[in-house]
Structure 1
């Protein structure tokens, strides 16, 4: 039940109360016409006449006179002894006094009711003043006391279905009688409203009373609230019944009510609306962990990949309730991973790779930055990590060829889809790979009528469209969903998306077809992402943290975790791609190699060509990394510099050159592009601060919450305040996962920073 406090919760933009006492004048014959709220007219008398005190005094005097007469007449008539007569007279006098006191208190209580009737006459739309309009009973707490039950009779024109009308009725009743009331029942046919007094003990927490008060203001005076406390006596949850189901039927209004309640409570709460039952339940929202290490899940490795294919669930994150979110490739064939540097995108990609390898899946990796997956070159079941452009082209070409080959087998009726071992293909940092590929293609493009673009680009899109039936699954990683390749057709081929960190409204529109989803993620919470739940609805999640084998220290927690995650059995051997110029089959060839030569390069087992195996070379040829990476070595001056250092193991005499690489490659990723880059600052992606009218504030803008602290936060929602009707509520969320609400007048000016309107495909 809703406790209705006499005073409003806020002073800002407070709604003027309807209470207006009728002037205490003598009532003219027939009453007078007065304009009521809403424009209708009601007939209201001048005031209720007070109960005369003279009648009570006269009855008291008569009772006392009777007592005296009894005392005097009894001895004269010799009906009793004098002592008995005196006692009878005293009892009569006491009875008379008690009767007078009782009637005097009844008169005082009636006066309280009269004042309440006069104050609410217009609000109740009474045709005339009558004491039948209010019935108060069960008085307690004091000589006059406060009634526990008040029944109001309203006029035919009263808007009894209006929540504000009921709120005003309860407010004025509480102020007039000095208690807190709530609507217990309403009988429209009899035009009656039954109010009951809240009898919660005075020791009830202020938070309990506050919840009931603002719930009435948000959901209507007729709503009822039941509060649940935890072991510490704090509010853990509360349920509001008899809400306006029509008003709160849409998701936008429900979200605003949820944020309003959270902003009025010391903790964040979430809402679960049941519009059918006209009720809502609020529960304390759990906090997201700042980091969650990848769990070591028990997997039945005795099952063959064909047997376990339909049951594979690659866990990658948890939601706020710690529910595990997983990717089921048999249902969602492809996954798109979106995120700028520093958001945790590469770490999440490592999580997907490690989890898939434990199921015994063969994995091919196209490492667009050339350095993000180096630590997994010797990871069990990772067959190849392509780090050069030529290798990456060969991987895409062979994955596409495998897909087409399997389609041919299906067409011939030789096999069915159930005979195919799954293959997981990672295309990471697509924008970098695409740029490098176009630059490289200019050097290896065949003459004549060769294609203007490398066919690897169209093959990647083809794998996204057709890979499911051939069980060639794709994990597509990119920093932003560029419009050039993220069309509707491409988007539909990725039923599961994970967008890391905060998106701009433009990027959110491309990724989620909504300018709102994913735009309020705290920027200083690495690994926080937007994804979908098991019902396909976008939710916020915390992605698992997986160590990079290349960066962990020996005997550290990360090293121990990787040992537990490492598959015990290698089911798929490592592979190498033989560069055309190093292939013995091309020993007699004099002409330059073109795109097709690299695309169709030979593949061999890594164990058969240790001279081409980067893992074997790193193990056999330790070098002084500091000297090798110095500018002097790069400039060809490394010999002298290396001799001046003590303890160097090896110093190359000549620097690497573009022609020294066995396969052409031009990676463009800089040091500041790696996933360990610092978090983006508040200035990234937004225009300069500007003063705008509150009506121009949009979701996704940055709003200045506190000028003195330079506290900026992203706007989560903008809409009419649910408590203050003449105000606008701006809900916000900052980079530290804090949230709140600004309540401003509809004419106010606020300081915001709009998202930059730079084209996504720039």
Structure 2
């Protein structure tokens, strides 16, 4: 019997997980000699044997020296072999500790102590018994928690284990091999090598490629690449056209959704976004063909209700004889659906509404999932857990593509993938995901990385800005929208609820501060700037144009930092026919910047003296 215990690795000081702020790495438990000590012992025995032989040979008894030398060398060889086997077993347990650390969400493998006993089967073999000591901060209250750990061990060691005992108070889990047969315990080297090859072949980051003309005419939105380098995508033309994105915070949902929005906008499709986190998708608010990004709960209710009305209106068109081919795709992104639905229910309860109003978000999204595809209205749902009550069996059948970022619990993965669950789960690498499209088998991919336009402009990352400029749509087909209410919102929850349900989406930015507009009118008349008015109803309209179409006097929004500015002069950049030098003036002063000639910017048109 060979007992083996290890606690390896160093804690990550930058983990950022507050749960383990007070936790400490486990002190390594040394049972028996370490591989290094065994190797030193083998060398010492060899030196002793040679010295003894030399002494006997000097005394004239070399034959007796050889008789002592041979068994001593054999003993040294056995010690070295044992040290090598123990080193290999140490590597197996270190890999297992790393996999369990990622599964349990602990900062590092050093926070785990794995005691492996009764190794059998082959030269290295696998342990019959595993005792896993984990930190008290790990949440082990789920009914299938221990089974999930056993699944991770099975995936790593290629050996099935059963839960022998789970000491919740002592935070110790014992796994046992149910077979106890020596012949079938050896892990399959080919399977382990194949898994390692898959991990090595997937890079940690892949920048989103610029769509070709063939891509822009396709309804397939690329999501990432698998281990063979094959592109994997979401096909809106599939029988079930909607997309589900799930994963814990930090897994890469925001980056993936940004890429999906950019790809849809590049195809000239309108995009409506409900961003319940308010700032996750703020970077695409001014992106061409992104008509609205609703960040407040009131606006989010209006956008969802209007998406449902749009679907019903399209159904009426089909009933009146129109063809589905005449309806362009509308992509509706609902980020963090469960939090959004809960907030809507709370708002309905505060307004004194009934159960039907409280389930408004759930009912509207369910209708969009069931009937939206028939009229080219497609939903992108973002949730944190795969066991969300929205994903009942009938709703799961309406989702054509599922992207699961990061690792999933064993029970959740089984419920999500069924018998087709992938043999290689996603690692905790941002953007690493398991994707299932249609009835195909789930595959492990690395999702494309798309820069956040707002963040790229803030830090002035030239590489990110260059990529975003290449991804920006060359054709702007849809104007920006704003929420238009029949009357001003009041502090009464009941009145506000009714106003939101009756609100519409209209072109333009709606009410905004008009300091720049007042300054522009005063500048045009030669007078001094008029006092700023706090709120002015904007009746003008806007459109997207290329920078090369800007003229002196245009009111344009070059980026988020400068906001709306008056273009004073447009000059060519010497020795660079692809760039223009823009001189502008705004509320916060004047400036200039070099911009690509083909970059799309938004301009406002004069209407009744107000921009």
- Scaled by the length of structure 1, the TM-score of the pair is 0.42
Partner of 1:374: 282
Secondary structure of 1:550 counterpart? helix
- Check 1:495–1:455 CA distance in 2 against 1; reply closer, same or farther (3 A cut): same
Aligned CA-pair RMSD? 4.2
Within 5 A, what are the aligned runs for 1:2-17? Answer: none
Moved more, 598-607 or 459-468: 598-607
Q: How far 1:619 moved relative to its partner? A: 5.7
Aligned equivalent of 1:430, options 337, 347, 364: 337
For each residue in 1:377-402, what CA deviation from the matched residue of structure 2 results, as whole angstroms up to 9, or x when unmatched? 10011000011111111111111111
Distance 1:427 1:531 in 2: 19
The residue number in structure 1 matching 2:442 is: 538
* Residues 1:421 and 1:503: Cα distance change in structure 2 (over 3 Å): same
Deviations 1:248-297 (A, max 9, x none): xxxx9xx889x9998637982379xxxxxxxxxxx998521111111112
**Which residue of the other structure, out of 514, 528, 545, is the alignment partner of 2:432?**
528
User: Which residue of structure 1 lines up, in the alignment, with residue 360 of structure 2?
Assistant: 455
Say yes or no: does 1:603 pair with 2:505.
yes
CA distance, structure 1, for counterparts of residue 443 and residue 421 of structure 2: 12
Counterpart secondary structure, 1:350: helix
Query: 2:323 corresponds to which residue?
Result: 416
1:465 aligns with 2:373: no
* Cα distance between partner residues in 2 of 1:590 and 1:495: 41
Q: Give yes or no for the alignment of 1:325 onto 2:232.
A: yes
Contact (CA 8 Å) 1:499, 1:518: kept in 2 or not? no
Provide the C-alpha distance between the structure 2 equivalents of 1:260 and 1:386, rounded to a whole number of angstroms. 56
CA distance in 1, matches of 2:441, 2:369: 22
Match of 1:269 in 2: 194
Q: Which residue of 1 aligns with 2:6?
A: none
Taking the aligned partners of 2:226 and 2:195, their CA distance within structure 1 comes to 14
- For the 8 Å contact 2:350–2:494, the answer to whether it is kept is no
Deviation at 1:573, TM superposition (A): 0.7
In structure 1, which of residues 280, 286, 292 is the aligned counterpart of residue 206 of structure 2?
292
Which residue of structure 2 aligns with residue 578 of structure 1? 484
Distance 1:260 1:291, change over 3 A: farther
- The CA distance in 2 between the partners of 1:256 and 1:516, in whole Å, is 17
Separation (CA, whole Å) in 1 of partners of 2:424 and 2:366: 27
* Counterpart-to-counterpart distance in 2, 1:591 and 1:453: 13
CA contact (8 A) 1:502 1:519 kept: no
Inter-partner Cα distance in structure 1 for 2:209 and 2:189: 37
- Distance change (3 Å), C-alpha of 1:333 and 1:357: same
The answer to whether the aligner puts 1:363 opposite 2:271 as a matched pair is yes
Compared CA separation, residues 285 and 401, structure 1 to 2 (3 A): closer
Distance 1:568 1:370, change over 3 A: same
Q: Secondary structure at the match of 1:495?
A: strand
- Offset at residue 416 of structure 1 (A): 1.6
* Whole-Å separation in 2 of the counterparts to 1:286 and 1:394: 46
Secondary structure of 2:476's counterpart equals coil
2:242 alignment partner in structure 1: 334
The structure 2 residue matched to 1:343, chosen from 251, 258, 261, is 251
d(CA) in 2 for partners of 1:343 and 1:477? 12
Aligned residue for 1:486, secondary structure, equals coil
Q: Per the alignment, in what secondary structure is the counterpart of residue 340 of structure 2?
A: helix
Deviations 1:575-625 (A, max 9, x none): 000245448xx9xx9996242320221322225644489x97966779xxx
Cα distance change on mapping 1:603 and 1:507 into 2, 3 Å? same
Q: Are 1:362 and 1:381, in contact at CA under 8 Å, matched by a contact in 2? A: yes
Distance 1:547 1:418, change over 3 A: same
Cα distance in 1 for residues equivalent to 2:277 and 2:259: 18
Structure 1 runs of 4+ aligned residues shifted over 4 Å read 259-263, 283-286, 514-519, 589-592, 607-613, 615-622
3-state SS, counterpart of residue 495 of structure 2? coil
1:481 is displaced (CA, Å) by: 2.2
Matched with 1:561 is 467
Q: Name the CA shift for 1:407/1:494 in 2 (closer, same or farther; >3 Å).
A: same
TM-score by length of 2: 0.51
Distance 1:386 1:510, change over 3 A: farther
Question: Mind listing any 5+ residue stretches in structure 2 that lack a counterpart?
Answer: 3-121, 126-154, 161-183, 514-536, 539-555, 565-587, 590-611
Larger radius of gyration: 1
1:550 equivalenced with 2:466 (yes/no): no
1:162-561 alignment runs, 5 A limit: 264=189, 268-269=193-194, 287-299=201-213, 308=217, 311-331=218-238, 332-412=240-320, 414-446=321-353, 451=356, 453-513=358-418, 517=422, 520-523=425-428, 525-532=429-436, 536-552=440-456, 553-561=459-467
**Is this contact kept in 1: 2:338–2:388, CA < 8 A?**
no
What per-residue deviation string (whole Å, max 9, x for no partner) do you get for residues 461-519 of structure 1?
A: 11001111110001010011234222111111112100000001232133223595488
For the structure 1 residues 517 and 567, does the alpha-carbon distance in structure 2 shift closer, same or farther, using more than 3 Å as the test? same
SS of 1:482's equivalent in the other structure is coil
SS of equivalent to 1:353: helix
Any idea what SS the aligned residue of 2:210 has?
A: coil
**Alpha carbons of 1:526 and 1:270: their partners in 2 closer, same or farther (altered >3 Å)?**
closer
Cα distance in 1 between the residues matched to 2:309 and 2:398: 19
Shift of 1:348: 0.9
Deviations 1:175-216 (A, max 9, x none): xxxxxxxxxxxxxxxxxxxxxxxxxxxxxxxxxxxxxxx9xx
Task: Look up the SS of the partner of 1:348 in the other structure.
Answer: helix
Offset of residue 534 of structure 1: 7.6
Structure 1 residues 618 and 599, CA gap change in structure 2 (3 angstroms): farther
Deviations for 1:522-576, whole angstroms, at most 9, x for unmatched residues? 22x1111011268610111111111111211224211111111111221111100
Gaps of at least 5 residues in structure 1 are: 1-10, 13-213, 218-251, 272-282, 623-648, 651-762
